[in-house]
Amino acid sequence: MKIICVGRNYAQHAAEMGATVPSEPVLFIKPDSALLRENKPFYIPEWTQAVHYECEVFYRIGKKGKYISARHALPYIDGVGLGIDFTARDVQETCKQQGLPWEKAKAFHDSAAVSEVLPLEAFPDPYRLDFELRVNGETRQKAHTDEMLFTLPQIMEHASRYFLVKIGDFVFTGTPAGVGPVQIGDHLEGFLNGRKLLDFYIK
């Protein structure tokens, strides 16, 4: 399986990063080795001095497909959860300055913390969700999926032009404003429609 991630899908996050608002979804991939499950602790790699959290809603793919139209996209989804896209920001910036790919800043081991996957029926509308990230009890990110620049069907349509989506793949839909660094000892808690799904520590 793989994790299809969307960058700059919230206008305020694009602004805080000094980036332009994209005209189409910005995509990158994390491998299955990036998954960090069951609220296990996240260990900061020794090769970075600036790991940032990026909280986002993700959806699980329940049916294989490609060239999926937006209007037919939602039947391909079978679950929803909350994740953290950990980013080695210093490594990413160095790669960008050198005009190099920056997968090693995004796709490294344990860089995608994920909650349990909940059935769509667990929410009144699983595509209109509030989510929040607290660090050491302080709210750092809070948003609603209505604020996304590109909806899930639009993301699916665009991504499936380039990637075969397979059963078990995750789609990370982008992070809102408020990203920042983590330090050893930090306590991260993530909430989806008020339900705590993420609860782990930084080591």
Say if residue 21's pLDDT is above 90: no
Write down the pTM of the prediction: 0.96
CB 158 within 8 A of CB 24: yes
Contact 185, 202 (CB under 8 A): yes
* Domain region containing 162: 2-201
Q: In the chain, how many domains are there?
A: 1
Cβ atoms of residues 52 and 95 within 8 Å: no
Mean pLDDT, to the nearest integer, of 87-97? 96
CA gap 162, 108 in Å, rounded: 22
Q: What is the pLDDT of residue 55?
A: 98
Within 8 A by CB and 6+ apart from 10, the residues are 143, 147, 148, 149, 174, 175, 176, 177
The residue to which tokens 């996240």 are assigned: 42
Residue 95: which CATH number?
3.90.850.10
> Can you give the pLDDT at residue 24?
96
d(CA 141, CA 56): 9
- Which pLDDT does position 12 carry in this prediction? 87
Checking DSSP bridges between strand 112-114 and strand 35-36, what pairing results, if any? parallel
Q: Decide if 134 contacts 140 (C-beta within 8 A).
A: yes
Which 3 state secondary structure label does DSSP give 75? helix
pLDDT score recorded for residue 19: 75
Task: Give burial (CB, 10 Å; 0-12/13-18/19+) of 35.
Answer: middle
Tell me how far apart the alpha carbons of residues 90 and 96 are, in angstroms, rounded to a whole number: 10
Under the banding of pLDDT at 50, 70 and 90, the label for residue 96 is very high
